């Protein structure tokens, strides 16, 4: 369980994943908030036909025929399924290629949302995949595009490139030093921002943050990617510097924090989600520093699987808050 090789400088340890999204709308169709059901289904079928005939191993689900995705809390908690998508379930479709981690939402807020995500920081490769699919669609469809404003979207914040990208990072040391607010202020000045992946407003449960671009106009997709890579590298280095400093001065305290978290998670009989998130964050820090031999991706999954809504769906029964905390402790013990 314990590892003797402390690993202080590995970007994959800190960078948990990346996520890229492209928003597109089709000329000649109303935006989704004005679409009639029949027209929406025609649009959906047109897009799914193009993708299904050109991409291998892609699964197509029409929400008006199958409620599998509508009820999929895992997709909801990871931000793939949104309330706007469920609102349009009478004419919305969902496509997924698990191998490429590619998701296509049709008739959500936009006619098309292309999304690809992966662990690590290989966003240039991910962008190439997304761009190829975008080119495929553009060859067969007329996008709503204006020479002055770029790609048109119902949300004015997304016009221009209609492209957003983000990197997800685990930043427990920057959090403990109260550095997040100042970092975010600096990001805002260059059209970027960061927020907790799990939590509300300024809270970031599990010390997990998403760094993303806010500006989509007056800048190319490639420039957005380069800016994100640069700022994420700077943030990563800040986190590493604090880790090195703390390890040098307080290595026993860090080890105690990690193994105390392991002991509680492995032996607790009752766990609320916020406590579990804090302890899993400590455990992930231990895995990142090679203090404890645990799979980081498994810990990331536990953060999602232990959420109230996901647990209720997976257990498929009504539970009181006390019963839910008991079941969470059992689940965490089993998964760890």
Asked if the model's pLDDT at residue 12 lies above 60, the reply is no
Residues 28-56 have a mean pLDDT of 95
32 is in an annotated binding site: no
291 is in an annotated binding site: no
Confidence of residue 86 (pLDDT cuts 50, 70, 90): confident
pLDDT at residue 4, rounded to an integer: 45
179/202 Cα distance (integer angstroms): 12
pLDDT at residue 68, rounded to an integer: 57
120 is in an annotated binding site: no
Confidence of residue 6 (pLDDT cuts 50, 70, 90): very low
Asked if the model's pLDDT at residue 237 lies above 70, the reply is yes
200 is in an annotated binding site: yes
Residues 161-165 have a mean pLDDT of 97
40 is in an annotated binding site: no
Pair 41, 146: CB distance under 8 Å: no
Residues 221-230 have a mean pLDDT of 95
Pair 48, 95: CB distance under 8 Å: yes
Q: Residues 6 or more apart from 180 whose CB is under 8 A from it?
A: 171, 174, 194, 204, 209
82 is in an annotated binding site: no
pLDDT at residue 5, rounded to an integer: 46
67 vs 19, more confident = 19
pLDDT at residue 203, rounded to an integer: 78
18 is in an annotated binding site: yes
Asked if the model's pLDDT at residue 254 lies above 90, the reply is yes
Asked if the model's pLDDT at residue 76 lies above 70, the reply is no
277/287 Cα distance (integer angstroms): 15
Residues 32-50 have a mean pLDDT of 95
Give how far Cα 68 sits from Cα of 118, 162, 244, Å. Answer: 23, 29, 46
pLDDT at residue 245, rounded to an integer: 95
124/129 Cα distance (integer angstroms): 9
36-45 b/e with 16+ CB inside 10 Å = b?
eeeebbebbe
297 is in an annotated binding site: no
Dihedral sign (CA 135, 137, 141, 144): negative
User: DSSP string spanning 172-207?
Assistant: HHHHHTT-HHHHHHHHHTTTEEEEESSSSTT--GGG
Asked if the model's pLDDT at residue 258 lies above 90, the reply is yes
Asked if the model's pLDDT at residue 114 lies above 70, the reply is yes
Lowest mean pLDDT among 2-16, 18-32, 220-234, 259-273: 2-16
201 is in an annotated binding site: no
197 is in an annotated binding site: yes
DSSP helix/strand/coil, 122 = coil
Asked if the model's pLDDT at residue 247 lies above 50, the reply is yes
β partners of residue 175? none
103 is in an annotated binding site: no
Confidence of residue 85 (pLDDT cuts 50, 70, 90): confident
| Per-chain mean pLDDT for the chain | 90
pTM beyond cutoff 0.85: yes
Asked if the model's pLDDT at residue 211 lies above 60, the reply is yes
198 is in an annotated binding site: yes
Residues 275-292 have a mean pLDDT of 96
Chain segment 23-36, per-residue pLDDT in tens: 999 999 999 999 99
252 is in an annotated binding site: no
């Amino acid at each position: 369980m314990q590892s003797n090789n402390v690993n202080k400088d590995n970007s994959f340890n800190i960078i948990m994943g990346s996520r890229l999204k492209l928003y597109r709308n089709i000329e000649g169709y109303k935006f989704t908030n004005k679409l009639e059901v029949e027209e929406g289904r025609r649009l959906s079928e047109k897009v799914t036909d193009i993708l299904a005939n050109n991409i291998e191993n892609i699964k197509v689900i029409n929400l008006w025929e199958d409620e599998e995705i509508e009820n999929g809390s895992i997709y909801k908690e990871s931000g793939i399924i949104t309330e706007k998508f469920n609102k349009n379930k009478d004419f919305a479709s969902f496509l997924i290629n698990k191998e490429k981690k590619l998701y296509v939402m049709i008739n959500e807020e936009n006619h098309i949302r292309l999304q690809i995500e992966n662990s690590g920081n290989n966003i240039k490769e991910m962008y190439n995949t997304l761009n190829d699919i975008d080119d495929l669609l553009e060859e067969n469809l007329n996008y709503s595009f204006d020479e002055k404003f770029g790609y048109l979207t119902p949300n004015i914040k997304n016009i221009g490139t209609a492209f957003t990208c983000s990197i997800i990072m685990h930043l427990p040391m920057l959090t403990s030093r109260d550095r997040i607010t100042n970092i975010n202020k600096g990001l805002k000045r260059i059209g970027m921002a960061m927020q907790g992946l799990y939590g509300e407003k300024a809270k970031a449960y599990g010390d997990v943050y998403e760094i993303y671009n806010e500006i989509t106009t007056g800048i190319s997709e490639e420039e957005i990617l380069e800016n994100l890579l640069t700022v994420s590298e700077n943030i990563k280095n800040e986190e590493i510097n604090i880790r090195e400093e703390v390890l040098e001065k307080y290595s026993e305290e860090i080890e105690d924090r990690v193994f105390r978290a392991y002991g509680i998670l492995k032996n607790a009989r009752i766990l609320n989600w916020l406590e579990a998130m804090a302890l899993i964050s400590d455990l992930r820090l231990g895995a990142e520093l090679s203090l404890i031999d645990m799979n980081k991706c498994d810990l990331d999954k536990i953060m999602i699987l232990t959420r109230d809504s996901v647990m209720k769906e997976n257990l498929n029964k009504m539970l009181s808050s006390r019963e839910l905390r008991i079941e969470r402790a059992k689940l965490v013990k089993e998964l760890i």
